[in-house]
Amino acid sequence: GGRSAIFIPGSAVGKQFEPLLRDTLVKSYKDAGSLKIRREIVHALASLGDEQSDEFLARLYETETDREIKKAIISAFGATGN
pLDDT tens-digit profile of 12-66?
556 778 889 999 999 999 999 899 999 999 999 999 888 999 999 999 999 999 9
Q: Inform me whether the pLDDT recorded for 80 exceeds 50.
A: yes
Cα separation, 71 vs 66, in Å, equals: 9
The pLDDT, as a whole number, for residue 1 is 47
pTM of the model: 0.77
